[in-house]
Each structure stands twice: as C-alpha cells, then as structure tokens.
Chain A
C-alpha cells in the first residue's frame, strides 16, 4: 500500500465525526478520574500529613502501590481479575474511571501533601488558638491555601491522566484512541488517523492546562508570591 496524502485526508475527514465522538468519552473518563482522585487524594494527603503512624504507613503503602504498578496491569487486574473474583459486572468505562481515579489519587495526595507542608505551621496553631478544632482549621485555613498551591501540580496531573486515558482502549472503551484504531483498521490509513488522535490529545491537554493557569490567576492571593 503506497503512501497517499489524499487518501489519508479522506479517511481523516470521513472518520472525524466518529473519532470526535470519542472526545466526550475521553473527557468523562478524565474528569471522573480527576474528581475521584481529588476527593480521595485530599483525604489521603490529610491522613499522610496529620495522621498517626499507622495512617501514615497505610497511605504510604497505598501511594507506593498505585504509583508503582503500570496502568495497563491495573486495568487488566481490576477488569479481568478483580471483577470476576467478586462476581461484579461493571462496564469497562466505569472500571477505567475507577482505576485511573485510584492512580490519580495517589499522585494528587502527594501534590497536596507538598502544598500542605509548604504552608507555615503557625497558621494551624493560630487557628487552634482561636478555638478551632483541627478538622475545622484544616478545612477553612489549610486546604483553601493548599488547593491554590496545588494548581501547577494539578496541571501536570491533568496532562498525565489525559494521555494515560488512551490506554483504556485496551478494555474496549470507545474513546479517541479506540475510535482512531477502528477507522484505521477499516481504511488502512494508520499514519493519518493516529496523527489525528495525537493532535486531538494535544489540543485537549493544551486547553486544559490553559484553563488551569487561568484558574490559578483567578484565585491567586493578592500580594502573595511564593
């Protein structure tokens, strides 16, 4: 099969609506994973910073595990291994969100942990000194600052999860990569379709990081540079 620009572009144009349909799937998977990662990661980071020795050890093991095992291994382990063992029937789509969310929570917990530790300790003391419980002080004084400090780290985490979401095609999730693959298999225009998939991911990571840097400017504390 010879290399033909016109045939490639034709395949791209014809396949585009179908492949763009996968953008929504990708966005839902990524957003779901990031939100789940944020919620879990927040609790993990608090446990890691303020918890007792046992909690710190447990969060440490959790983070070690989910940072150390490849995404594909975890996807297969959960979808083909764990679901069967537990007699559960979840869609690949849901399993992908959960697995990416668990991995992201490990990373986000470390982003937030760093952010929390960079806030001067005296602020927690001052909050206690006016009669706040630790829970209230963490919620009203520490986390609002930690979330602001975590935005650059999140920007990084967003691009990683966005790119890694392509791996979920291995479970049959109809996201960008899976759809590009379908069209390529039908038209034999692999180069052009993977290039298209690459550009779509590039656009998505670009837009996302831009939005996060706008958010960072919007919530910046006046006069505050660190």
Chain B
C-alpha cells in the first residue's frame, strides 16, 4: 500500500486582482521528505508557502495533512493544523517585546496550554538545540540576524511540527551569518524532519533536498533530483535560471 503523505496540496490557485500568482500547484510530501523550491522572484514561491499555512487564503485547491483535508473555516481545526506546520519567515518575525526564551515559550503556554515551568524547560531545550541557550535572556534587538532566525526555528520546533515550511530562511542575513542557520536546518534534516525549503541558495538546496522544484509564473515548471534540475534540466526556463544562478554563485564572492 502506498504511504499516506504527511502533507499534500492539490490544485492551489491564487490571484491578486488581475494577476494570477498561483495557477494550480500540486505536490505531496512523505514523512522525512525534503523538497526545495527555487525560481525567480515573483514566481509565487513565497505565496505558495503562505497558502499552505492559510496565512494567505487561496481561491481554489485543497490541503491535506496525513490524508485529512483541512477546512480552514473551522477555526479550531485551522489552529491545530498550524501548530503541526511550522513556518520560518525570511525576516524572522520574532516578537519584539519578548526575550528569546519567551518567544519560544509563548506558544507552549498560550496555545498548547502547557504549565509555565514545564514550558520553560521545553523552550530552554529547543534553544539549546539551535545553540542559543546562553542567549535566552536576550531580546530580539540584542540578537544578530542569524541568532534571530535560530530563535524563530526553536519557536516553531517547540510546537512539535510534523512539517516545516522555510521561506528563504537566510536571504535577509549577512553572508557570514548564513552558515549557522544552514547548519541548524541540516541538523533538522538529519533528525528526519519533513521540510519544504524556498531558497535562492541552490548549493544548499542541492545538498539538502531529495527533490528540487523549479517554480515560475505560478506553476511548477519542472521537478526532479537536484543534479537533474540544476545541471540537466529539460525545460529551457529551468536551464536558463539554473545556469544564471550557478554562474552567479561561482562568479564572485561579493555577491550572493
């Protein structure tokens, strides 16, 4: 029997006014799958991730978690689903008035209703997992970009997600801070976390993901193993994009 995917999306369509951003996107992730989405800006990658979490409501399509379709109009179901699907944002979105520990703890206390002391222990453990235990008393404004992103990963992990959606997790970081976030994501991968990673770091995507999906103009143009997509793509658009970005990455140190 075929395995039921952890997360499956079918025919997601979204338009903003006249512009169709997503033109029917479908894919499925089995437990432990890591898929990377690459493609030019404005191609709908970020919108797609936001749609999967219903942070942006789509016009048509279906989302299934463990085979069960999510009815976002049922608030209770929606909130439970969002806990299972961790979201990492490009610009971290930490809660500015809470320190690192409280950022991780608040979901446990306010959403999962775990007693404070117990939530604190869990939050400390999650911060330790991302290597930030000694910074847990610091406020977001006192942390570097890389540290902020690691806190946001800890915050998502504390909710026990079954899937993580990472929306360009390192694109807002200074180059020297990218590595620390990548290594946390690699650790998650090694631990078997199911993930969708939207990124421009194709080298990282290639080393992490089993499958890369190339997305442009609201559709998944092509998907396959990293080697195939990056170097032997069949679609001209994919080839053109990958050539450019590979060349760019090799081209110079001053650019990312």
| In contact, A126 and B89 (Cβ under 8 angstroms) | yes
Q: Which residues of chain A come closer than 8 Å to B83, judged between CB atoms?
A: 130-131
B29-56 Cβ-contact flags toward A at 8 Å (1 or 0): 0000000000000000000000001010
| In contact, A130 and B159 (Cβ under 8 angstroms) | yes
Interface residues of chain A: helix, strand, loop or mixed (majority): helix
Q: How far is A140 from B109 in the complex, measured between Cα atoms in Å?
A: 11
The answer, yes or no, to whether B14 is at the interface (CB within 8 Å) is no
Nearest CB in chain B: distance from A156 CB, A: 22
Q: Which residues of chain B come closer than 8 Å to A221, judged between CB atoms?
A: 96-97, 139, 141
Contacting residue for B55 out of A129, A133, A144, A223, CB 8 A: A129
Q: Which residues of chain B come closer than 8 Å to A122, judged between CB atoms?
A: 89, 91-93
| In contact, B55 and A130 (Cβ under 8 angstroms) | no
Nearest CB in chain A: distance from B116 CB, A: 14
Q: Which residues of chain B come closer than 8 Å to A127, judged between CB atoms?
A: 95
| In contact, A128 and B91 (Cβ under 8 angstroms) | no
| In contact, A224 and B139 (Cβ under 8 angstroms) | yes
| In contact, B139 and A140 (Cβ under 8 angstroms) | no
Given contacts A123-B95, A126-B93, contact A131 B107 (CB under 8 A): yes
Q: Which B residues are within 8 Å of any A CB, using their own CB?
A: 53, 55, 75, 79-80, 82-83, 86-87, 89, 91-97, 106-107, 110-111, 138-142, 152, 155-156, 159
Given contacts A126-B87, A130-B155, contact A140 B75 (CB under 8 A): no
Apart from A130-B83, A221-B141, list 5 A-B contacts with CB within 8 A.
Answer: A126-B155, A129-B86, A132-B107, A222-B138, A224-B139
The answer, yes or no, to whether A17 is at the interface (CB within 8 Å) is no
| In contact, B89 and A125 (Cβ under 8 angstroms) | yes
Among B87, B97, B110, B139, residue most surrounded by chain A Cβ atoms (within 10 Å): B97
Interface hits, A71-130 → B, CB 8 Å: 119-120, 122-123, 125-130
| In contact, A129 and B53 (Cβ under 8 angstroms) | yes
The answer, yes or no, to whether A141 is at the interface (CB within 8 Å) is yes
Nearest CB in chain A: distance from B132 CB, A: 16
Q: Which residues of chain B come closer than 8 Å to A145, judged between CB atoms?
A: 95-97
Q: How far is A129 from B152 in the complex, measured between Cα atoms in Å?
A: 11
Q: How far is A126 from B152 in the complex, measured between Cα atoms in Å?
A: 9
24 contacts between A and B (CB under 8 A): A120-B96, A122-B89, A122-B92, A123-B93, A126-B87, A126-B89, A128-B55, A128-B82, A129-B86, A130-B82, A130-B155, A131-B79, A131-B82, A131-B83, A131-B107, A140-B106, A141-B106, A145-B95, A145-B96, A148-B97, A222-B138, A223-B140, A224-B139, A225-B141
The answer, yes or no, to whether A10 is at the interface (CB within 8 Å) is no
Q: How far is A221 from B137 in the complex, measured between Cα atoms in Å?
A: 12
Q: How far is A133 from B97 in the complex, measured between Cα atoms in Å?
A: 19
Q: How far is A169 from B23 in the complex, measured between Cα atoms in Å?
A: 67
Given contacts A126-B152, A148-B97, A224-B141, contact A132 B111 (CB under 8 A): yes
| In contact, B79 and A129 (Cβ under 8 angstroms) | no
The answer, yes or no, to whether A210 is at the interface (CB within 8 Å) is no
Q: How far is A222 from B91 in the complex, measured between Cα atoms in Å?
A: 20
| In contact, B110 and A140 (Cβ under 8 angstroms) | yes
Q: Which 7 A-B pairs have the closest CB atoms?
A: A223-B141, A122-B93, A126-B93, A131-B83, A129-B87, A223-B142, A130-B107
| In contact, A222 and B142 (Cβ under 8 angstroms) | yes
| In contact, B111 and A126 (Cβ under 8 angstroms) | no
Q: How far is A120 from B96 in the complex, measured between Cα atoms in Å?
A: 9
Q: How far is A140 from B106 in the complex, measured between Cα atoms in Å?
A: 9
CB-nearest residue of chain A relative to B82?
Answer: A131
Interface hits, A125-182 → B, CB 8 Å: 125-133, 136, 140-141, 144-145, 148
Nearest CB in chain A: distance from B110 CB, A: 6
Q: Which residues of chain A come closer than 8 Å to B89, judged between CB atoms?
A: 122, 125-126, 129
Among B110, B141, B155, residue most surrounded by chain A Cβ atoms (within 10 Å): B110
Q: How far is A54 from B96 in the complex, measured between Cα atoms in Å?
A: 31
Q: How far is A125 from B106 in the complex, measured between Cα atoms in Å?
A: 15
| In contact, B55 and A125 (Cβ under 8 angstroms) | yes
Q: How far is A222 from B102 in the complex, measured between Cα atoms in Å?
A: 14
Contacting residue for B82 out of A119, A129, A224, CB 8 A: A129
